Each structure stands twice: as C-alpha cells, then as structure tokens.
Structure 1
C-alpha cells in the first residue's frame, strides 16, 4: 500500500471550513500520481514515446467524515486488479487513524487516438508486484 501525505489548505475548504467535496478527488489524484511514480513509471515519457496516457473511467466515492483546514491527511492507494487496458485501485483518505473518504477508481490506458490501448509491458511489470496475492 502506498501512502502520500496531504495538508489541507484554506483554498481546499468551503464556507463551513471543511474540505469541499470535489477536493477529495484532487487529493486521491495526487496519491495515484505518486503511487505510479514510486513504481518507476514516468507518465510523461510514456506519453512522449508511445502516446499512451491514463484516464479515470470510473470513481465510486464514499464521504465518511469531514476534513478541516490545516489537517494533515494521508492518501493510501492499493492496486486491486490489472486488466488488458484497465487498472483498478482502492484509495482512502485518513486523518491519523480516522477514515474520512474511500474511493474505488478504474483507470483506463488510452492510445494516441483516445481509444483504449493495452498497458505497455514495462508498465505492467512495474505494477504487478502490487497485486494482492489472491488476484
């Protein structure tokens, strides 16, 4: 499981002083980007070399408890499954041990024409080590 720290800034909050709901999607995007980077996958280079990008196809989000200005949060990212062109992840946002938000996220690999494309073998090999043992 990958862990990424996020601090809540004033700009992340609404008039009530709590994190605006859409900003959780930004937080988990940062977590995913850092997860991929930590596995040695250079998304910019893949786009330059192969024309391949990752796009969010589906998000199922559950808002459990609010975060507030200046909270120190942790975004966790876990790989659930790899398909031919698909990456399934489970992400959490925590404040200490308190679970604030969860999301099931499906990414799809897109080729230069904007259609689904197979995950490049080099990317697949770097991510497969994170697959659950029963997958």
Structure 2
C-alpha cells in the first residue's frame, strides 16, 4: 500500500514570530472526572516546542547524536486557568521570550478558541553530553533571534 506523500504530522506554523500548534483532547488525555490530567499539558507544550524547533531547522537528534549537546528544561512555571475537556481543540502558542548564549526562555499559552486555558514559562539550557552548560549553535541562536524580531515588530 502506498501512502500519499502529503500525509504527515502537522508541525504548526509561525505567524508574526509566534508558533501556533494545534492539538485535540482525546479520551486518553483525561482523568476520571473527564478533564485533562494536569501533567498532559506538559506533553502538549513539549510537542509544540519540538515542532517549533523543527520549523526553525534545529535538528535536536543530530545535535545529540553528534555529541554537540541537548536542551534540558531547567525551570518551568505553569498556571492553570481553565480545564480542557474531551474533544476540545486547543492551540499552543509559543513565543521566544529571552535568548542567552546557553539558554532560551519560551513562553507558552494554551487556548481553546478565545478561552485562555493555561500559561507557562519554560527555561531550557543547552547542555553538553556530560550535562554542563554550553553555547547554543550559532545557527540556532540566529533562528531564535529572527522569530523574536518578528514578534517584536508586530
């Protein structure tokens, strides 16, 4: 069976320097009360950040496999505002807020239409395979700076 070439996961897209990533709530995402289990929001945000990096041509697996380094979350703050429920369509909006030589802070919010479901700030450091901070690849910091500039001008 041949699979059509245009069938692939949706990576989201950038609009005015912000990355928009769509996801839907399935039964497996909910707890016994029918609302999204709190830790699952971390999954949605991780997927959005990973796909944002893919769109910026940042190959995390290649950086890891070559021994260049990996990102690790070193600080995370989250605020839950409203519950998401089965079959809700959500949008994760990611904005590069702060860029440093060895780290990046990405603000994320999850929306259901005009309802603000949750907010988070994710501080990720770029680390050597031994776990020590190191400068991010220059091409990556340029890509982050580019989307920050786009967001600042809007």
**TM-score normalized by structure 2?**
0.83
Structure 1 residue ranges without an equivalent (≥5): none
Structure 2 residue ranges without an equivalent (≥5): 1-17
Among 43, 58, 72, which residue is 1:41 paired with? 58
1:112 aligns with 2:129: yes
Among 32, 37, 48, which residue is 2:49 paired with? 32
Match of 2:76 in 1: 59
Match of 2:96 in 1: 79
* Larger CA deviation: 107-116 vs 119-128: 119-128
**1:81 aligns to what SS in structure 2?**
strand
How far residue 105 of structure 1 moved from its aligned partner, in angstroms, is 0.7
Deviations 1:74-100 (A, max 9, x none): 001000011111101100011011100
Deviations 1:38-58 (A, max 9, x none): 111111111122431001111
1:22 aligns with 2:39: yes
Bigger radius of gyration? 2
**TM-score normalized by structure 1?**
0.94
Match of 1:121 in 2: 138
How far residue 128 of structure 1 moved from its aligned partner, in angstroms, is 1.1
How far residue 3 of structure 1 moved from its aligned partner, in angstroms, is 0.3
Give, in whole Å, the separation in 2 of the partners of 1:54 and 1:65.
29
**RMSD of the TM alignment (CA)?**
1.2
